[in-house]
Amino acid sequence: MRGTGPAAFAYLLVRHELRLWASLWLWAARRTHDAAAGRAVFGYARGQGAMMAGLTFVCVVESVMLSVLLRDWPTAHHVMLVLDVYTVVMVVGLHAASVVRPHVLDPGAGVLRIRRALHVDLRIPLERIASVRRELRTTHESADGQLDLAVQSQTSVIVELAEPVAHVSFFGRRREIRVVRCHADDPGAFVRAVEQAREGHAVP
């Protein structure tokens, strides 16, 4: 959807909420988003599980404490309870989105999809990939044409492109991307699979 007005912003928020709830349902059903037969999936959320569990625990403890403190003010108690429950759902939902939306390699279509929860779904044609390799980084400096998708401040794979691909941010900002740094739970398997798919997709 184009535009930057209130209607466009409201549309983005509603879409985000619907996708968040869809992610929770997929996670509960042990299903993966858009990962049909013939496509290889590579998770990246394993490293953030403990942190997200800890954050959820803190939110629950805070909710209980506020509920006790506000028990004599019913209106404030109800408002804060709704907000606290929504916060917990958001935290769990964002982790669920990371779990059910892994990176997807589709050799048949010749596309590698690099994803990050609800916010990034970059489709890269295999013929545009110049190289892919393991490269562990814990610090990232912003650079033109580079997309950093760190998990726990860490990336483990770098994909360099021979031709740029367009990335549209959550708020509609368009960028031309030539280098993608992302994380995979098994970076070795990720790199090997992409290299094999590139070889099989190469035009003789």
Do residues 117 and 67 both lie within one domain?
Answer: no
Q: For position 125, what pLDDT does the model report? A: 96
pLDDT for 173 equals 83
Which pLDDT belongs to residue 201?
65
Three-class SS state of 125: strand
Query: Residue 42's beta-bridge partner residues?
Result: 103
pLDDT greater at residue 126 or residue 14: 126
Q: Say how far residue 27 (Cα) sits from the centre of its chain.
A: 14
Check whether residue 95 and residue 107 sit in a common domain.
no
> Are 109 and 196 in the same domain?
yes
Same domain, 126 and 196: yes
Task: Give pLDDT, residue 75.
Answer: 87
- 140 shares its domain with 154: yes
Please indicate, yes or no, if residue 1 is contained in any of the structural domains. Answer: no
Q: 165 is written with which tokens? A: 């691909």
Distance of CA 80 to the CA centre of its chain: 29
Same domain assignment for residues 115 and 197: yes
**Does pLDDT of 204 surpass 50?**
no
Query: Which pLDDT band holds residue 3 (cuts at 50, 70, 90)?
Result: low
List the structure tokens of 139.
């610090």
Question: Residue 12: exposed, middle, or buried by beta-carbon count in 10 A (0-12, 13-18, 19+)?
Answer: middle
Span 130-149, average pLDDT:
88
Sheet with 111-116, strands from edge to edge, namely 40-42, 103-106, 111-116, 120-125
Mean pLDDT of 56-64: 86
Q: How many domains does the chain have?
A: 2
**Range among 60-74, 121-135, 142-156, 164-178 rated most confident:** 121-135
Question: What pLDDT does residue 1 have?
Answer: 47
CA 14 → CA 1, 9, 20, 38, distances in Å? 13, 9, 10, 32
Is residue 95 a part of any domain in this protein?
yes
pLDDT digits (tens, 9 = 90+) for 162-203: 999 999 887 778 899 999 999 999 999 999 999 999 987 654
Same domain, 63 and 122: no
Note whether 33 and 60 are same-domain residues.
yes
Residue finishing a domain among 58, 83, 100: 100
Over the range 77-88, which residues count as b (16 or more CB within 10 Å of their CB) and which as e? beebeeebeebb
Range of the domain at 27: 6-37+44-100
Residues 76 and 155 in one domain: no
Do the beta carbons of residue 170 and residue 138 sit within 8 Å?
A: no
Q: Is residue 165 part of a domain?
A: yes
pLDDT digits (tens, 9 = 90+) for 13-52: 888 888 989 999 999 998 988 877 678 999 999 888 888 8
**Whole-prediction pTM:** 0.84
Q: 88-112, pLDDT tens digit by residue?
A: 888 899 999 999 999 999 998 999 9
The confidence score (pLDDT) of residue 134 equals 95
13, 89: one domain: yes
